[in-house]
């Protein structure tokens, strides 16, 4: 069946919907003893192209604009709806799954179906393709909202954890000059933080800082360990590398300062913006280095509700 077979992802949604969820309840009906002239006025006034014919709340037929046109093209002066309607029309039950209703639309090509209560068999609504579309859009909207709420809850993951200390650690090993892997640790960290439902702006800042730091280690050092501690109020990145170290840390923090050798510049690095970028993204940074031993960088980003940007202060922890 066309609709549901094509749109696999909406199927699940569709299976949760019943006719009663999307049908229109305040049905305009006409009586079999009304005239076709009256029908003409009713269809025009309500801008509809067909309507159920009911005796009380008993469905007795369907009458459409096609029936009206046929009548107007005949030489009859007047006629009763009861004589021109389709008697015993196809109908749906309000508790039917919407998918089945859609199948019925596909199979018959009717534009609308009257809906009956499955027990009393009384007319309780009407279903059109337009109402199906509207109902599905509403269901999708709701599904999106639920997804947003789910993500929000995930970002409060720590509130649901019962423990004295609530921390998650992610550790990545870095290898100097390994340009196949360069940047991968930051990418993986980013993916994990998304899964944890961390706020996108926080992830973005951390990813920039982490990428710049990872590249520096890969370019300038022998090896390193990059560790992320994710706690309820903050995320701390700590990168310890073994390598030549930085002789003048304050200088290295200056925008535009680079000690990058020629081969590094040839690779497109060496603008001297890496560390300044890290400082911009961080709430706190601490950069320590010992020449001939290595460099330790720690970057702190506050994630709590009152997360306060103090990025460019770049002060110690
Ligand atoms: N982990 C490290 N070990 C040794 N030296 C480093 C390390 N990180 C940075 N440096 C030194 O500090 C300088 C400044 O680093 P920064 O990341 O700000 O700029 P860059 O790497 O030269 O250029 P860019 O990051 O803009 O490509 C580097 O050129 C390098 O000399
Ligand atoms: Mg750099």
Q: What is the pLDDT of residue 81?
A: 98
Integer Cα distance of 294 and 221 in angstroms:
8
DSSP string, the chain: -HHHHH-HHHHHHHHT-BHHHHSBSS---B-TTSBHHHHHHHHHHHT-SEEEEEETTEEEEEEEHHHHHHHHHSS-S--BHHHHSEES---EETTSBHHHHHHHHHHH--SEEEEE-TTT--EEEEEEHHHHHHHHHHHHHHHHHHHHHHHHHHTTHHHH--SSS--EEEEEEEETT-TTTTTHHHHHHHHHHHHTT--HHHHHHHHHHHHHHHHHHHHH-SEEEEEEEE-SSEEEEEEEEESS--S-HHHHTSTT-----HHHHHTT--SS-HHHHHHHH-SEEEEEEETTTEEEEEEEEE-STT----GGG----
Q: For 58-65, what is the mean pLDDT?
A: 95
Does residue 308 have a pLDDT over 80? no
Phi, psi for residue 207 in degrees, rounded to 5: -65, -40
Q: Answer whether 2-142 and 158-313 agree in fold.
A: no
pLDDT-based confidence at residue 106 (cuts at 50, 70, 90): confident
Nearest protein Cα to ligand 1, atom 21 = 270
Query: Would you say the CB of residue 260 lies under 6 angstroms from ligand 1?
Result: yes
pLDDT-based confidence at residue 9 (cuts at 50, 70, 90): low
Cα–ligand 1 centroid distance for 189 (angstroms): 22
- Stated pTM of the model: 0.58
Integer Cα distance of 244 and 224 in angstroms:
12
Query: Would you say the CB of residue 237 lies under 6 angstroms from ligand 1?
Result: no
Q: What is the pLDDT of residue 237?
A: 98
Query: Would you say the CB of residue 273 lies under 6 angstroms from ligand 1?
Result: yes
Number of Cβ within 10 Å of residue 113's Cβ equals: 23
Among 82-96, 143-157, 202-216, 235-249, the range scoring the smallest mean pLDDT is 143-157
Cα–ligand 2 centroid distance for 271 (angstroms): 8
Task: Select from 3.30.1490.190, 3.60.20.10, 3.10.580.10, 3.10.28.10 the CATH code of 2-142.
Answer: 3.10.580.10
Q: What is the pLDDT of residue 144?
A: 82
Q: Are 29 and 53 contacting, i.e. CB atoms less than 8 angstroms apart?
A: yes
Cα–ligand 1 centroid distance for 273 (angstroms): 8
List of residues 6+ apart from 73 with CB closer than 8 A: none
Considering 16-25, 107-116, 286-295, the range whose residues carry the highest mean pLDDT is: 286-295
Q: For 257-270, what is the mean pLDDT?
A: 92
Q: Are 241 and 222 contacting, i.e. CB atoms less than 8 angstroms apart?
A: yes
Which of 245, 274, 291 for a ligand 1 pocket mutation test, highest count of atoms within 8 Å of Cβ? 274
Nearest ligand 1 atom, CA 275: 18
What are the residue ranges spanned by the domains of the chain?
A: 2-142, 158-313
Q: For 256-276, what is the mean pLDDT?
A: 93
First to last CA, the chain: 63
Cα–ligand 1 centroid distance for 246 (angstroms): 8
Q: What is the pLDDT of residue 3?
A: 53
Query: Would you say the CB of residue 270 lies under 6 angstroms from ligand 1?
Result: yes
Query: Would you say the CB of residue 208 lies under 6 angstroms from ligand 1?
Result: no
Q: For 305-310, what is the mean pLDDT?
A: 47
Cα–ligand 2 centroid distance for 212 (angstroms): 6
Task: Select from 3.40.190.10, 3.40.50.300, 3.30.565.10, 3.20.20.70 the CATH code of 158-313.
Answer: 3.30.565.10
Q: What is the pLDDT of residue 11?
A: 67
Q: Are 87 and 72 contacting, i.e. CB atoms less than 8 angstroms apart?
A: no
Does residue 203 have a pLDDT over 80? yes
**pLDDT of 272-290, one tens digit each?**
999 999 999 999 999 999 9
**pLDDT of 127-167, one tens digit each?**
999 999 999 899 888 888 877 776 766 667 787 788 888 89
């Amino acid at each position: 069946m066309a609709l549901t077979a094509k749109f696999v992802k909406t199927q699940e949604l569709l299976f949760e919907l019943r006719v009663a969820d999307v049908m229109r309840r305040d049905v305009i009906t006409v009586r079999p003893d009304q005239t076709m002239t009256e029908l003409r006025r009713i269809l025009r006034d309500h801008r509809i192209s067909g309507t159920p014919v009911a005796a009380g709340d008993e469905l007795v037929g369907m009458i459409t604009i096609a029936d009206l046109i046929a009548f107007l093209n005949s030489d009859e002066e007047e006629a009763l709806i009861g004589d021109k309607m389709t008697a015993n029309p196809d109908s749906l039950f309000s508790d039917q799954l919407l998918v089945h209703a859609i199948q019925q639309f596909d199979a018959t090509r009717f534009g609308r179906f009257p809906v009956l209560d499955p027990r009393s068999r009384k007319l309780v609504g009407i279903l059109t393709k337009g109402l199906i579309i509207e109902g599905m859009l509403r269901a999708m909207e709701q599904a999106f909202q639920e997804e947003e709420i789910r993500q929000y809850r995930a970002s409060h993951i720590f509130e649901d954890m019962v423990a004295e200390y609530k921390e998650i650690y992610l550790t990545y090993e870095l290898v100097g000059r390994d340009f196949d892997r360069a940047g991968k640790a930051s990418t993986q960290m980013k993916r994990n933080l998304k899964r944890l439902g961390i706020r996108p702006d926080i992830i973005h800042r951390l990813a920039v800082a982490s990428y710049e730091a990872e590249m520096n280690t890969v370019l300038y050092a022998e090896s390193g360990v990059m560790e992320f501690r994710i706690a309820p109020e903050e995320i701390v990145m700590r990168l310890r590398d073994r390598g030549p170290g930085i002789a003048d840390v304050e200088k290295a923090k200056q925008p535009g300062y680079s000690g990058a050798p020629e081969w590094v510049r040839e690779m497109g690095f060496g603008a001297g913006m890496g560390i300044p970028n890290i400082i911009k993204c961080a709430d706190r940074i601490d950069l320590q280095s010992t020449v001939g031993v290595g460099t330790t960088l720690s970057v702190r980003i506050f994630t709590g509700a009152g997360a306060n940007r103090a990025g460019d202060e770049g002060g110690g922890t």
